[in-house]
Amino acid sequence: MYIKNVFDIKNFKGIQDGFRVNFDDVTYIVGDNAKNKTTIGSLPLWILTGYNLYGSNKEPVSNDRNRLFANTLASMTIIDNTGSEHVITRCKGKDNFVLLDGIRTSQEVLTRFYKDVHAFICAYNPSYFRSLKLSEQRELLLRILPAISSEEAFELLDDDEKEILEKPVVDIKGFAKAKRAEIKELHSELDTINGSKGIYTSIAIQREDTPKVFNKEKELSSLEEEYEKLITNTEEIISCEDLEKDIKKITAKIANNINVDLKEYQKKQEKELENLKSVSSEKSKCPTCKQDIVNESLIKALTISYKRSINEIAKRIENLKEETKNLVEEKNQQIKKYNRMKTPEMKQQTQRRDELKEKIDLLRKEKSEVELYNREIEIKYNNIVDAKNKIEAIEREETEIAETIEKYSKQIQIVTRLNLLIMKEQMKGISQYLDKVTIEFTKIDEETGEILDIYEIKYDGRNYEKLSKSYKLRADIEISQLINKVTGIETPIFIDDVESITQINLKSNIQTILSIVIKFNNLEILYSYPDVLEREKISINKKIEESSNILQNAA
């Protein structure tokens, strides 16, 4: 990308409205301090991205001395990397918009000119890289490194590592994260089955009891046979106590039928007969209110109703008499049975029956207890066998899970090493763009031979953090050019505070904007270094004159 000019500036910081800057292959922005040199250098970046030189898009850009304007505007002309010319305009304030070749557009569309905004700022302004945290520097550099396919990366591994990893990994971080999550789930599963194993172990170690034997089967069969013959060859044997209870119950029922139910029915029958007689006489009267009834239909209806009621009561009385007759017969039969049961022979049979029943019940109970005990023993034995089988299954599952955890752990170690190998391989591809700067993401542990994950920048063999301001700027410029080339942005480079270094090694095809402090000099845009030297010569002479005056005054 090549910047041709910046124009139509309105209300931007301290720059005069209407100010215009044309840029050449090398452009010098010179002037004393506080002359807006850095502000001019920041303009192309702001117009294109909306960010300032140090990665913020929140910085106020309006001229706080001019409150009449609600908007800040600026435009610039660029030539993109395909050779096409474009005009970009940005407005911020009451109205916020971006124009590309006079048409409203979005910031997303403009990213085609600069791709990653923070990489672009580092390439445009070398000092921005220095302002980043070490973690941000590392992340940005890793982000721009040349891509290596998962298949190419897989080939960097040893054969045994390939066998464990099984196949190329596209997303190393995602793969490691997923495997750690699976390991966590597997450990949780191990805890669960270990709990189950403890329960089954407590069952499996139980003592196995010996079954009992019921050895009175012949005796029980003999008694049951005798009992069956006894109750088959005789009438049903009922105890005298039961017969007495039954006779009393029948007697009470007969007495109730005669003394209560029958009398109640007879009373109701007499009442209904009186009612029928009342309505059927020559002068019909109402049985309830005793008033004469003259309505023949009503008399007829009442007569039918009372006759029907009398017939129903008569039927109930007959049924009750029949029931009572049957009860009397049943009572007589039970009395006969009772008298028969009182004979010595029946008493003897009853006694023998009861003895047999008692012995049979005892033996059956004993047999049932033995069978129940043996069933419990069988269940217990089956539970023990089942528990042992499940423990074996759990131990096999534990072994499988442990092997899987070990495999996943090794895979995580391998992809971690693979990530470092990839970075090492990627660095080989960018070393051609570096001169005195070295960037290391990995190093070999001299004792173990292990590849370690580090982040270290050196300039001419010296640690970046220990460099002077001048050498840091040189390193920043070299890193800026690296980012420029690797990303393919091909952006101009803006170097502020150039006077702090004595030598700048720039690639010949990079458009360069240099900001130089020259005391006593007003803001100027120059395109020739001899012109810059001429301004510096004038400045030096003024400094000498100023110093002489100070010395004379002191003398």
Is residue 11 domain-shared with residue 123, that is, in the same domain?
yes
Query: Dihedral through CA 492, CA 498, CA 504, CA 507, nearest 10?
Result: 10
Is 382 inside any structural domain?
A: no
Is 271 inside any structural domain?
A: yes
pLDDT score, position 425:
85
Is 433 inside any structural domain?
A: no
Is residue 129 domain-shared with residue 244, that is, in the same domain?
no
Is 329 inside any structural domain?
A: yes
Is residue 250 domain-shared with residue 108, that is, in the same domain?
no
Is residue 141 domain-shared with residue 223, that is, in the same domain?
no
Which of these three, 367, 382, 407, is where a domain ends? 367
Give the SS3 label for residue 212: coil
pLDDT score, position 354:
82
Closest CA to 272 of 284, 258, 287: 287
Whole-prediction pTM: 0.60
Q: Are 1 and 491 in contact (CB under 8 A)?
A: yes
Rg (CA), the chain: 58
Is residue 127 domain-shared with residue 25, that is, in the same domain?
yes
Is 349 inside any structural domain?
A: yes
Give the domain range for residue 499. 2-145+464-554
According to DSSP, the β-strands at 451-459 and 462-463 are: antiparallel
Question: What CATH number did the domain enclosing 500 receive?
Answer: 3.40.50.300
pLDDT score, position 160:
94
Is residue 235 domain-shared with residue 362, that is, in the same domain?
yes
Which of these three, 332, 367, 402, is where a domain ends? 367
pLDDT score, position 229:
82
Tokens of 446: 């001299």
Is residue 354 domain-shared with residue 475, that is, in the same domain?
no
Is residue 140 domain-shared with residue 250, that is, in the same domain?
no
301-310 exposure pattern, b = at least 16 Cβ within 10 A, e = fewer: ebeeebeebb
pLDDT score, position 362:
95
Is residue 29 domain-shared with residue 126, that is, in the same domain?
yes
Rounded-to-integer distance, Cα 377 and Cα 364, Å: 20
Counting the structural domains of the chain, the total is 2
Which of these three, 348, 367, 386, is where a domain ends? 367
Is residue 136 domain-shared with residue 251, that is, in the same domain?
no
Is 183 inside any structural domain?
A: no
pLDDT tens digits along 448-461: 666 777 889 999 99
Is residue 358 domain-shared with residue 476, that is, in the same domain?
no
pLDDT score, position 80:
94
Is 443 inside any structural domain?
A: no
Is 300 inside any structural domain?
A: yes
pLDDT score, position 67:
63
Rounded-to-integer distance, Cα 259 and Cα 251, Å: 12
Tokens of 523: 């803001």
Listed as own residue / partner, the contacts of 383-389 with beta carbons closer than 8 Å and 24 or more positions apart are 383/203, 384/203, 384/204, 384/206, 384/208, 387/200, 387/201, 387/203, 387/204, 388/200, 388/204
**Residue 62 dihedral angles phi and psi, to the nearest 5°:** -75, 155
User: Residue 79 forms beta bridges with which residues?
Assistant: 2, 85
pLDDT along the chain (555 residues), means of 10: 95 91 96 94 97 93 76 95 96 94 96 93 93 91 87 92 93 91 94 91 90 92 88 61 85 90 89 83 69 77 87 92 91 82 72 87 94 93 93 94 95 90 83 87 72 85 89 90 89 87 71 94 94 94 85 71
